[in-house]
Structure 1
Amino acid sequence: MIENVLESFAESLFLFLSGQPKDVRSLLVKKHQDNLQTHGDFSFPNSAKSWHEFAICDEVGNKEDTTLLQVIRKDCGDIVEESKKWTLQVNKLKEDNGRIYLFLERPKTICVGLSEALRNVAVLAQKLHEAESVVQLDPCCVEQCNLTSLRAKYVSNVINNLCALNKVDSKMFVTTKSSSNREGCHRVLCGTVLNSKTGAKETEISARDYIRLRQDEMTLIAQHKYGVRVSTDSKWKEFIAHLGESAAAFELLQTKPSSPVKINFDCSSVGSSKGASFILYNCARLETIIRTYNDKVCDKTYPELPSFEDVDFSLLILEDEWHLIFNYILSLPNLLRSCVEQNKQSCDFRPHHICSYLCLMVRVFSQYYRKTRILVEPRKHLLPVIFARIHMLKILNETLKTCLNILNIKSVSQM
C-alpha cells in the first residue's frame, strides 16, 4: 500500500488526544484545504463535549466550558513536544473560537512529503501496469454506440484502475440498466447522459459524433490560441483528435457515475472542453519547464540537477508552493482512498473526485506559474532555489500524470 504521511500525522495526533486509534470516519481531526497561512494545516475542537464518545471525557459531565486539553492535562506546548516523535512535526498552535489550529513545520514536511510522493507515484505506476481485469461491462454497452454506453465504457475502465490501486478483489459489473445483474459481481449502475437543453436522454448524437464535436471545439480553442494552421497541419490534426477524445472522457467522468450527466452539445459556446484543455495545457506547461531545464543543462547554462537528498527544500517558502505540496502532492493517497468505498453489500466508486482534484491543482499551479519565474538566471545564489523548484515540479508533474492515467487519459508533452 502507498504511504500516507498526512494520515499518519492525523492518527498520531488523534492517539495523543484521545488515547485511542483514529477511526477512519472520524472528522474530529480536520485537514485544511484553504487559508493555510492563517488557519494552519490541521485543527481539532477543544471542547470536551466534542469528544464525548471517548472515556477520557466522562468525568466532565455537562460543563460547557471544559476543554479537551484541560481534561487530558496537556497544553499546546505538549503537542509541539510530542510531535517531535512523529514523522511530521508541529511548528506552532493557536486557539480560536473553541478550536486548536496546528501549523506544521514546513521545511520538514516538504522534504519528507516529496520523498514519500516519489515512492508513491512509482508504486502506483507499477500497480496500474500490473492491473488485472476485475470489471465486466454489460454486453449491451459494448454493442451500442450511444453516449450512455460510451460513458459506461469510460467508467468501467477507470473502476478497474481504482480496484487495482485500492486492493478491491471483488468482481464488478458495470451496466446502465437497473434490471441487469451478474452473479458473483457487485453491480455498478452508470447514470444516463442527458441533453442539457432538453433534459432528456440523448439518443440522437452517437458516441463518435460527440467525440467529433469535442474535437471541433478543441480546434476552435487551438485556432484562437495558436492560429489557423491547426486546421490543416497533419500533426496538429492528430493532436487535436487526442485532445477531443480526452475532453469527452473527462466530461463524462466528472460527475458521480451513478448520477445522470448533462451535456451541452453547442460547440459554438467553446466551454464544455475548457476543463480538460486547461488540465492538459498545464500538463504540457510542466513538461516544457522540465524539458527546458534539461536543455539548459545540455548547453551548460545550468548545472546538472542535484540528487533529491542534496537539495535544500527549505527554500520553497512561497504560499503557492506549500499549497501545491500540501493539498495536492501529499494528498494523493487521501484522494485515491476517497474514490472507493466498499462493504459487503455494495461498492461505491467516485472517479469524479479525481476530476475535481485535477481542476483545482492546475488552477493553483497556473497561478503559481504566472507569479513566479522558475528558470531564472543561473547565478550561484539562485541555483539552490531553482533545484528545489524543479524537483517539486517534477513530482507535481508525475502526480498529475498518475491521475490522468487512472482516468485513462493520455498526458501531453507540449501544446
Structure 2
Amino acid sequence: MAAPIPFMLVETVNNLYRYFGFDDSGIGENAVFQEPRMSRQNPNKCDLCFPLIPLGGCDAQVPGVLLFPEHRNFKVKINVEKVKEELPVVSEGWVIPVVSCSTSSNTLCILLDHANAFQNTISQILSESLKPSRLPCFEKVIGVSEDASLNDSGGADLTQLRTRLAFKSLCNVFSSLGYKIKTEGSDTLEGTSTPKYHICYKSVCPEKGAEQSLVHCGAVLDVASGVKANDICARDYYRLKKLLFENVAQERDTIQGNSSHSEILAEAEVAAELLGVKLHDHVSVSLSSSSDNVGIARGATFFLYNHVRLSCIRKKFEQEVECGNYSKLPDVSEVDFGLLSQNEEWELLLLTLQFSYWLVNCVRSKGKISLHPILVGMDKLCRVFSVYYRRVRVLTEPRPHLLPVMYARLYLLQSLERILGVGLSIFNMKPLDYM
C-alpha cells in the first residue's frame, strides 16, 4: 500500500532555520536530518522546541544541531522579541504556518496551526496524484548490492537471513522516498557521484566495490547461550514462529489456528525481530518453543493488529454508507479539522508528520544505515492509537451535530492506515483482514 510521504515537517523546520538566518546552500549529501524536538506536554502552547543560548537582553543563539547534527558548532544569533512578533506573519505562506511563539526556560516554543496541519497532511497522504518526496541531498539514482552468497534459500542461517531481509527493506526505503534503485550492474555507476551501498554480514567483505559504503549486519545470537545461532536455519526458524502463533491462536480460540494467518504473523515477527536494532549490532533471539515469545501487544503482531483495527473502522463506515445509515464522506477540503481537539489526535498527526524523519534516519551515508527507526516510530504510532481507540468512539450516531467531528476523525484514521501500511510494506509485512 503506497502513500505519499509527508515531508511538510521537514519543510517547516527548514523554513524556520532559514528565517533564523541559517544558509543551508552549503549542505552536502552527507547531511543527516534529525527529528526535531516535539512537545506533547501542552499541545495548546508548544509543538516545536528550539533551545536558546541567552546572550543578554533580547538576543540569543539558536544552535543548528536540531536539523543537522554534524553542524554542531553552528549557531545563529536572533532577537527573541522580534522573532516572537514577526514569525507568525512571515510564516503565513508556509505549508504549516506558525500561530505563535513564546519562550520558557531558555527554550523557543513554536505553536503550529493545527487545523492547517491536519488539512494539508491528510490531503497529501490521501492524494493518489502526489509522488513520494526525495531527499534533497541525494542523487536520484541509488546503488544497492548484496553478497552473491545471499539468496532466498531457506537453508541460510539466521545471520544471512537478517542480511537478506535488510537488503530488501533498505531497497523499499529508498523506493518509498522516490529513488530509482540499481541493484545489479553496479560497475556502470563507478566514477559517478551516485551513493553506492553493499550489504554484507562480514566485517571485511571482498565483494564490496572500492566506491561502495559497506553496510555491515551483525550476527544473530541465541539468547540462551549468547553465541551465534548456527543450529537452526531460516526455514526452521520460520516454522518455529508459525507453530508458536498457531498454538497461541488455538489457546485463545481466536483465529482457530488459521495456517495462512500464522504464516503471515511469523514472517512479520521475524523481520521485526531481526531488524529491530541497529544493523551493525548483534541481535539476540529466543529459539525456545514457549508461546511466551509471541503476543499481540508486541512487535510486528502489534502493528498488524492495529492496522486491522484501522481498516475495520473504515470498512464498517463504508458498510453503513451502503445501508443508508451514513452519508458519504465529504471532500477533504470541506472537513473542519479544527474539531479535532483530543491530545491523542494531535499526537497521531505529529507522528504521521515524523514518518519522513524515520525514513531519512534509516539511510544515513557512509554505511551508517539502519532500519530500526521506522520500527520504533511505528511502535509509537500504534501505542498512541491503541489508547485513542479504547478511549474515543469514532463511529457515532448519525446525528447532524456529531457528523462533522466523525468525518474529521475518519480522515485522520484513513491517513494513519495508509502510513502504517507503508511501514508494513517496507518490511514486506502483509496486512491481515482480521485478527
TM-score, normalized by the shorter chain, greater than 0.5: yes
Structure 2: how far apart are the matches of 1:33 and 1:149? 40
Alignment-mate amino acid for residue 259 of structure 1: D
Structure 1: how far apart are the matches of 2:325 and 2:133? 33
In the alignment, structure 1 segments of 5+ residues that lack a partner are 55-66
Matched, 1:380 2:407: no
- Structure 2 equivalent of residue 180 of structure 1: 205
Question: Which of 119, 123, 139 matches 2:148?
Answer: 139
Shift in Å at residue 371 of structure 1? Answer: 0.2
- Structure 2 equivalent of residue 191 of structure 1: 218
Question: Which of 291, 298, 314 matches 2:315?
Answer: 291
What is the RMSD of the two structures over their aligned residues, measured on CA atoms?
A: 3.0
- Structure 1 equivalent of residue 237 of structure 2: 210
* Residues 138, 174 of structure 1: 8 Å contact kept: yes
- Structure 2 equivalent of residue 62 of structure 1: none
Structure 1: how far apart are the matches of 2:353 and 2:129? 11
Shift in Å at residue 276 of structure 1? Answer: 1.2
Matched, 1:9 2:32: no
Larger RCO (CA under 8 A, 6+ residues apart): 2
Question: Which of 106, 110, 116 matches 1:102?
Answer: 110
Structure 1: how far apart are the matches of 2:320 and 2:279? 45
Shift in Å at residue 119 of structure 1? Answer: 4.2
Question: Which of 284, 305, 323 matches 1:281?
Answer: 305
Structure 1: how far apart are the matches of 2:129 and 2:38? 23
- Structure 2 equivalent of residue 80 of structure 1: 88
- Deviations, residues 90-135 of structure 1 (Å, cap 9, x unaligned): 2233311111111112111111222233348963499xxxx99953
**TM-score, length basis structure 2:** 0.81
Secondary structure of 1:172's counterpart equals: strand
Shift in Å at residue 213 of structure 1? Answer: 1.8
Alignment-mate amino acid for residue 353 of structure 1: P
Shift in Å at residue 85 of structure 1? Answer: 3.2
* Residues 121, 398 of structure 1: 8 Å contact kept: no
Shift in Å at residue 188 of structure 1? Answer: 1.9
* Residues 201, 218 of structure 2: 8 Å contact kept: yes
* Residues 124, 130 of structure 2: 8 Å contact kept: no
- Structure 2 equivalent of residue 245 of structure 1: 267
Identity across the alignment (%)? 27
Secondary structure of 1:280's counterpart equals: helix
Matched, 1:45 2:65: no
Equivalent pairs counted in the alignment come to: 388
Kindly report which structure 2 residues correspond to 1:11-160, keeping only aligned pairs within 5 A, or say none: 11-18=14-21, 20-21=23-24, 30-32=36-38, 34-37=40-43, 40-48=46-54, 51=61, 68-70=77-79, 74-119=82-127, 123-124=131-132, 134-142=143-151, 144-160=155-171
Matched, 1:255 2:261: no
- Deviations, residues 30-69 of structure 1 (Å, cap 9, x unaligned): 4315425276211223325573889xxxxxxxxxxxx954
- Structure 2 equivalent of residue 306 of structure 1: 330
Alignment-mate amino acid for residue 136 of structure 1: S
Structure 2: how far apart are the matches of 1:134 and 1:30? 29
Q: 1:288 to 1:153 in 2, by over 3 A?
A: same
In the alignment, structure 2 segments of 5+ residues that lack a partner are 65-75, 135-139, 182-193
Q: 1:122 to 1:244 in 2, by over 3 A?
A: farther
Alignment-mate amino acid for residue 292 of structure 2: V
* Residues 215, 244 of structure 1: 8 Å contact kept: yes
Shift in Å at residue 376 of structure 1? Answer: 0.9
